[in-house]
């Protein structure tokens, strides 16, 4: 799904066509039409070329229903519908806002954020998707006026109040007071002003005695209070800073008042969150700063003002969802059920205005902003065995706040893109344009990294996981759907040729404890054998060494079902994971191997693992019988990343884990067990094993390159 916003000269057809990718295959439209801004949401089937093919094609979708919201629908809606040959359907603006808001909160992990003006490192603090139950919440929409909604679900919500004060008051009074008629210019001027030249502060009234009242000196006692004196007014109008000062005071008066209104409504209608949106708020730091202060002050620190990265698209996304439902009711034979699945943010397809970069959102001239999202075709949900899914955060390091880490990892990713595009070209050596596409991938990825160097919060929480995901998205966009395909095939074939000898060597170890130690070392050795690595597992004692605790539990406890989150192809999964899993199978324990749903680097995917099991069954009778009896099964984790985000796991895997009584979770590999999930706890036993292959990370953990981590937690 692509969501776009346009301003001013909408006759600029070339810009529109270049920006709205896949438009000719669009099959569902929605429009949110305002006085100066038009937002379009549409879905389009995008081709994903397989690396084994030199060509690709995509079936054309039928254009069907267009849902319209906004003040300008009756003027422009019928004309647009006629041009697109679709039915004109008006939808309720309030329902669109609610549905769009919920959709973004449910599908974009780092959508909501708080703003802290005093944080010098990063003023934006992003709340993860499962941070706390966000329903019910207040939605404070500040447009021309202000409306306050209480939202309990997509279908249960109500407008509980509002105010005539809003963006219209600031825009209108700003025009009257300054003769400036551009909204963004008014905001810019307000940023530069000093309200203390207009307002009366508590300190002005009580002259140093404010501590007796328990009030800070700089609290505003009366907005524009100084202007009650006619002599002062005559003088202040001669001040060269009059316009910026009066705008600052006006903006603070409106923002503070609306923050107080929101808190009062939250006390009457108890809620878990207060979200602010509307064109008055949209990415303007001065507004977010003031509203944040007001909510904190009036709630006595009990509530926080929260904002959405893509708040400007909520109404048109809601209209799109409603349009889908109307079409499905009308044409059940041609129903589109994608809205029932989970979606994810497609960083690579969003323009600078579509992604979150805190500047004035739309300036003069023709502008296009695009937010692109991708349907996952499955339902993703929080992994049910997390000990505390409420506070779960997958990432070990936040690059938003850690400047040193950010510099290292962005430089690391920039250096490694050359190797990645080399592998991508190799995977499609039969394609004439592979080198050309690979060069575009490299340039585009480096341009995104440049943005992240300057604005690490451009995609919400900046972390190693997102940097890797961004790279995969750009590769896929330019039809490199499996850059390491050839590498994986070579490594799998080589590892398979050694599997029989590896299993025979393990079976010759009679002592169960020693045999288990051997397969754990094998699990680590397989993880060392990543692409380009030439090391072996270090001798114990390791950097983090819980092996003895693990061996003690393994000797004395029979597990019901083990879930293993696998990492790399080749030696890792074939010579490491499978012999480890085989020891459980010999004891009658069921084993689920969870692999990526789609390719990422040289990581094993679920379809590849299923193919391997057929070949492996010819090598070993124990594994063969386990596959036949469904004691060894493969599931996809719902992801396509070298890391693991347990907030968004394939619902079928979650169901498997619960129904089979998983009582041991094993996570292997640096991306899944250290970059992510290093500190996560489960409701069952867990084992995390990895070899550290990065000097920076080894230094952070107090070890060396190729240090070993074996972390066991018993509940």
Over residues 456-466, the pLDDT tens digits come to 888 888 999 99
Q: Return the pLDDT at 81.
A: 84
Q: Return the pLDDT at 48.
A: 58
Calculate mean pLDDT across residues 44-57.
53
CA distance 150 to 167: 21
Contact assessment for residue 244 and residue 189, using Cβ atoms and an 8 Å cutoff = yes
Q: Return the pLDDT at 634.
A: 98
HSE toward the beta carbon, residue 83, CA cutoff 13 A: 6
Chain-centre distance for alpha carbon 78: 36
User: In the structure, what pLDDT confidence band is assigned to residue 10 with cuts at 50, 70 and 90?
Assistant: very low
CA distance 141 to 158: 13
Q: What DSSP designation does 128 have?
A: P
On the question of a cis peptide bond just before residue 612, with omega within 30 degrees of 0, the verdict is: no
What domains are there in the chain, each with its CATH number? 2-107+313-377 (no CATH), 112-194+241-308 (3.30.420.40), 403-477 (1.20.1700.10), 485-713 (3.40.50.10880)
Partners of 568 in the beta sheet?
A: 603
Q: What is the pLDDT of residues 268-316, one digit of tens each?
A: 998 989 999 999 998 889 999 999 999 999 999 999 999 998 988 999 9
CA distance 86 to 42: 13
Query: Is 365 a residue whose pLDDT tops 70?
Result: no
More confident residue, 370 or 506: 506
Q: Return the pLDDT at 132.
A: 54
Query: Is 5 a residue whose pLDDT tops 90?
Result: no
Contact assessment for residue 578 and residue 607, using Cβ atoms and an 8 Å cutoff = no
User: In the structure, what pLDDT confidence band is assigned to residue 103 with cuts at 50, 70 and 90?
Assistant: very high
User: In whole angstroms, how far apart are CA 190 and each of 116, 178, 185, 488?
Assistant: 19, 11, 9, 57
DSSP string, 508-536: T---HHHHHHHHHHHHHHHHH--TT----
Query: Is 587 a residue whose pLDDT tops 70?
Result: yes
Query: Is 355 a residue whose pLDDT tops 60?
Result: no
User: In the structure, what pLDDT confidence band is assigned to residue 537 with cuts at 50, 70 and 90?
Assistant: low
Q: Return the pLDDT at 511.
A: 95
Contact assessment for residue 530 and residue 669, using Cβ atoms and an 8 Å cutoff = no
Q: What pairing do the DSSP bridges indicate for beta strands 112-115 and 124-127?
A: antiparallel
Q: Return the pLDDT at 53.
A: 38
Query: Is 352 a residue whose pLDDT tops 70?
Result: no
Nearest to 155 by CA among 102, 108, 105: 102
Query: Is 96 a residue whose pLDDT tops 90?
Result: yes
CA distance 634 to 595: 7
b/e 579-610 (16+ beta carbons within 10 angstroms → b): bbbbbbbeeebbbbbbbbbbbbbbbbbbebbe
Contact assessment for residue 397 and residue 72, using Cβ atoms and an 8 Å cutoff = no
CA distance 339 to 428: 34
Query: Is 396 a residue whose pLDDT tops 70?
Result: yes
Query: Is 518 a residue whose pLDDT tops 50?
Result: yes
Contact assessment for residue 683 and residue 385, using Cβ atoms and an 8 Å cutoff = yes
User: In the structure, what pLDDT confidence band is assigned to residue 182 with cuts at 50, 70 and 90?
Assistant: very high
Q: Return the pLDDT at 61.
A: 46
CA distance 228 to 61: 64
Q: Return the pLDDT at 4.
A: 66
Q: What is the pLDDT of residues 245-265, one digit of tens each?
A: 999 999 999 999 999 999 999
pTM: 0.88
Query: Is 55 a residue whose pLDDT tops 80?
Result: no
Query: Is 351 a residue whose pLDDT tops 70?
Result: no
More confident residue, 217 or 241: 241
Calculate mean pLDDT across residues 558-578.
97
Q: What DSSP designation does 60 have?
A: P
Q: Return the pLDDT at 173.
A: 97
Among 41-55, 495-509, 690-704, whose mean pLDDT is lowest?
Answer: 41-55
More confident residue, 304 or 85: 304
What share of the chain has pLDDT > 90, as a percent?
67
Contact assessment for residue 471 and residue 402, using Cβ atoms and an 8 Å cutoff = no
- Alpha-carbon torsion 674, 677, 678, 683, what sign? negative
Q: Return the pLDDT at 215.
A: 75
Query: Is 19 a residue whose pLDDT tops 70?
Result: no
Q: Return the pLDDT at 59.
A: 43
Calculate mean pLDDT across residues 320-349.
87
Q: Return the pLDDT at 362.
A: 34
Calculate mean pLDDT across residues 139-164.
95
Q: Return the pLDDT at 305.
A: 97
Contact assessment for residue 638 and residue 378, using Cβ atoms and an 8 Å cutoff = yes
Helices (H), 529-605: 547-556, 571, 578-585
HSE toward the beta carbon, residue 440, CA cutoff 13 A: 14
Helices (H), 241-313: 242-268, 285-298
Query: Is 322 a residue whose pLDDT tops 80?
Result: yes
pLDDT averaged over every residue in the chain? 88
More confident residue, 62 or 607: 607
Calculate mean pLDDT across residues 469-477.
93
Contact assessment for residue 358 and residue 285, using Cβ atoms and an 8 Å cutoff = yes
User: In the structure, what pLDDT confidence band is assigned to residue 328 with cuts at 50, 70 and 90?
Assistant: confident
CA distance 677 to 643: 9
Query: Is 539 a residue whose pLDDT tops 60?
Result: yes
User: In the structure, what pLDDT confidence band is assigned to residue 17 with cuts at 50, 70 and 90?
Assistant: low
CA distance 564 to 559: 13
Report the chain's terminal Cα–Cα distance, integer Å: 43
What share of the chain has pLDDT > 70, as a percent?
90
Q: What is the pLDDT of residues 600-634, one digit of tens each?
A: 999 999 999 999 999 999 999 999 999 999 999 99
More confident residue, 393 or 366: 393
């Amino acid at each position: 799904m692509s969501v776009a916003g346009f301003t001013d000269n909408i006759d600029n057809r070339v810009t529109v066509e270049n920006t709205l990718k896949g438009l000719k295959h669009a099959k569902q439209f929605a429009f949110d039409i305002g006085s100066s801004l038009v937002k379009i949401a549409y879905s389009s089937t995008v081709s994903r070329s397989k690396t084994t093919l030199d060509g690709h094609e995509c079936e054309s979708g039928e254009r069907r229903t267009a849902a319209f919201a906004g003040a300008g629908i009756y003027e422009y809606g019928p004309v647009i519908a006629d041009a697109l040959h679709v039915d004109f359907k008006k939808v309720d603006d309030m329902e669109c806002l609610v549905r769009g808001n919920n959709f973004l909160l449910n599908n974009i992990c780092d959508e909501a954020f708080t703003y802290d003006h005093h944080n010098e490192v990063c003023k934006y603090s992003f709340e993860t998707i499962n941070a706390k139950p966000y329903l019910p919440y207040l939605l404070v929409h500040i447009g021309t006026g202000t409306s306050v909604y209480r939202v309990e679900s997509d279908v249960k919500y109500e407008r509980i109040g509002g105010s005539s004060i809003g963006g219209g008051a600031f825009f209108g009074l700003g025009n009257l007071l300054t003769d400036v008629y551009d909204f963004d210019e008014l905001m810019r001027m307000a940023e530069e002003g000093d309200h203390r030249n207009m307002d009366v502060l508590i300190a002005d009234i009580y002259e140093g005695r404010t501590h007796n009242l328990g009030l800070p000196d700089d609290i505003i006692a009366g907005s524009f209070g100084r202007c009650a004196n006619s002599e002062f007014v005559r003088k202040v109008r001669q001040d060269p800073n009059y316009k910026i000062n009066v705008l600052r005071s006006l903006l603070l008066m409106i923002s503070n008042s609306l923050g107080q209104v929101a808190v009062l409504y939250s006390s009457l209608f108890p809620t878990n969150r207060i979200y602010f949106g509307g064109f008055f708020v949209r990415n303007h730091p001065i507004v977010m700063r003031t509203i944040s202060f007001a909510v904190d002050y009036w709630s006595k620190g009990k509530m926080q003002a929260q904002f959405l990265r893509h708040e400007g698209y909520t109404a048109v996304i809601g209209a799109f969802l409603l349009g889908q439902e109307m079409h499905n009711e009308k044409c059940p034979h041609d129903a589109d059920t994608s809205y029932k699945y989970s979606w994810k943010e497609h960083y690579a397809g969003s323009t600078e205005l579509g992604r979150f970069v805190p500047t004035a959102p739309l300036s003069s001239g023709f502008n296009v902003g695009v937010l692109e999202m991708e349907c996952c075709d499955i339902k993703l949900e929080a992994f049910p065995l997390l000990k505390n899914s409420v506070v779960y955060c997958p990432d070990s390091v936040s690059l938003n706040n850690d400047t040193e880490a950010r510099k290292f990892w962005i430089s690391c990713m920039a250096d490694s893109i050359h190797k990645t595009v080399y592998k991508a070209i190799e995977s499609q050596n039969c394609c004439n344009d592979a080198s050309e596409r690979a060069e575009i991938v490299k340039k585009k990825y480096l341009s995104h990294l440049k943005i992240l160097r300057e604005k690490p919060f451009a995609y919400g929480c900046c972390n190693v996981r997102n940097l890797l995901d961004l790279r995969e998205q750009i590769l896929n966009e330019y039809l490199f759907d499996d850059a390491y395909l050839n590498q994986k095939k070579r490594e799998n074939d080589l590892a398979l040729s050694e599997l029989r000898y590896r299993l025979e060597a393990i079976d010759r170890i009679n002592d169960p404890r020693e045999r288990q130690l051997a397969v754990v070392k094998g699990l680590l050795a397989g993880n060392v054998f990543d692409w380009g690595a030439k090391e072996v597992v270090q001798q114990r004692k390791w950097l983090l060494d819980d092996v003895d605790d693990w061996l003690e539990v393994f000797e004395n406890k029979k597990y019901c079902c083990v879930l293993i989150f696998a990492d790399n192809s080749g030696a890792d999964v074939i010579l490491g994971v499978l012999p480890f899993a085989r020891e459980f199978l010999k004891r009658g324990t069921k084993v689920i191997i969870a692999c990526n749903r789609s390719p990422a680097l040289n990581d094993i995917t679920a379809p590849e693992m299923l193919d391997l099991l057929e070949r492996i069954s010819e090598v070993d009778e124990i594994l063969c019988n386990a596959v036949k009896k469904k004691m060894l099964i493969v599931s996809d984790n719902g992801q396509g990343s070298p890391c693991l985000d347990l907030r968004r796991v394939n619902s079928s895997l979650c169901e498997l884990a619960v129904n089979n009584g998983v009582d041991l979770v094993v996570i292997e590999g640096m991306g899944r067990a250290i970059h992510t999930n290093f500190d996560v706890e489960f409701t069952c036993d867990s084992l995390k094993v990895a070899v550290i292959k990065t000097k920076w990370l080894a230094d952070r953990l107090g070890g060396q390159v190729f240090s070993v981590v074996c972390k066991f937690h018993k509940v």
